[in-house]
Amino acid sequence: MKKIIATSLLLIFTVATTIAAKPKPCGTYEGHNIYKGEKGGCYYLKTKKKVKVYIDKKHCKC
């Protein structure tokens, strides 16, 4: 029973962490949603591969 509870708590924590880590767009650039990076830069995600493409700060209004 304790193992089931521990596993359940771990699963809940993992889901909550994943939801919280999902970036929210803060504007657009050439038709792409842009996001604020960890160090203050802005980027958009390339389709399918989810590769971050950083843009010049003058285009960033986050």
Helix or strand or coil: residue 55? strand
Structure tokens at 2: 């304790």
Q: How far apart are CA 42 and CA 34, in angstroms?
A: 6
Q: Does 6 have pLDDT greater than 70? A: no
In the prediction, which pLDDT does 19 show? 58
Q: What is the pLDDT of residues 11-62, one digit of tens each?
A: 555 444 445 567 899 999 999 999 999 999 999 999 888 899 999 999 988 8
In the prediction, which pLDDT does 55 show? 95
Structure tokens at 3: 């193992």
In the prediction, which pLDDT does 62 show? 83
In the prediction, which pLDDT does 44 show? 94
Q: Which ranges in the chain belong to alpha helices (H)?
A: 2-21
